[in-house]
Amino acid sequence: MLPLAGYLSEIDVHPQSVYVLHEKVERRFSMHTHEKGQLTYVEGGIAYCNMPDRSYVVPARHYIWVPKHQQHYMQIRHSKATTIRNLYFYSHNDHLHPFYSRLGIYPVNELLQQMIAYSARWERHVLPGDPGFSFLSAIKDILPEISTTALPVALPTTQHERLRPVLLYIAQHFDQQLTLESVSHEFDLSPRTLSRLFTNILNMSFVQYLKTLRVVKGIEMILQTNQTLSEIAYQTGYSSIAAFSKVFYQLTNKRPSSFQQGIY
């Protein structure tokens, strides 16, 4: 097995290849970029794709497309059961469709799931003319057609010295009845000042950030626990399933019951 740095440097050695990586390696990379577009499929559990300014949640039976040159690293939290599969595609024809230049998270239908599973018979570089190259290329070719509705759950992050402690506090108390006023008081800030920090630094209001965080935590609980939706709603700070479901649908265009039942 290659050392960790070897896998990362090897991805771009052959620009025309499809690089197949099914070992649990991508999750151990630090922030990085490469010349190839990346498809990471989350088979079970939940994964996070972290960018310099935000973190994307990638639920089970979804994949994330990471365009070439995009700084990122994958993170698996709390679950050894989470399985991810990675395919890195040549980028010389990315200009043929705008899909390939946009980061996005998409549900995986039965066809794509079976094709990704079949790709496990190859490992590392598959070059033009090699057995399997046409098949792997077909995966890339069908993505724009079958991936039309992205899952828009992105949680902004920041290293700003005044706002970062606030975000950490909210992450620790998201199940409580937080308000702009109560959080402002906790940090000896005026509500107006805190509101401006969220808007100017995260380009998102305090309320929108809190809603997004709670939905991310809700998805995590749905996929990694056996709790009821009522229990999850309460543990994410909502007084009813209806309130939780409404916010969940606003952000994901899906009902939480869909995730719980595995309907994507």
- Domains of the chain listed by start with CATH number: 4-146 (2.60.120), 158-261 (1.10.10.60)
Three-state SS for the chain is CCCHHHHHHHCCCCCCCEEEECCCCHHHCCCECCCCEEEEEEEECEEEEECCCEEEEEECCEEEEECCCCCEEEECCCCCCCEEEEEEECCCCHHHCHHHHCCEEEECCHHHHHHHHHHHHCCEEECCCCCCHHHHHHHHHHHHHHCCCCCCCEEECCCCCCCHHHHHHHHHHCCCCCCHHHHHHHCCCCHHHHHHHHHHHHCCCHHHHHHHHHHHHHHHHHHHCCCCHHHHHHHCCCCCHHHHHHHHHHHHCCCHHHHHHCCC
The rounded percent of the chain whose pLDDT value lies above 70 is: 92
The reported pTM is 0.82
Q: Would the pLDDT of 205 be above 60? A: yes
Over residues 145-162, the pLDDT tens digits come to 999 888 878 888 888 989
Over residues 221-260, the pLDDT tens digits come to 887 778 899 999 999 999 889 999 999 998 888 888 877 7
The residue with greater pLDDT, 116 or 225, is: 116
Q: Would the pLDDT of 80 be above 70? A: no
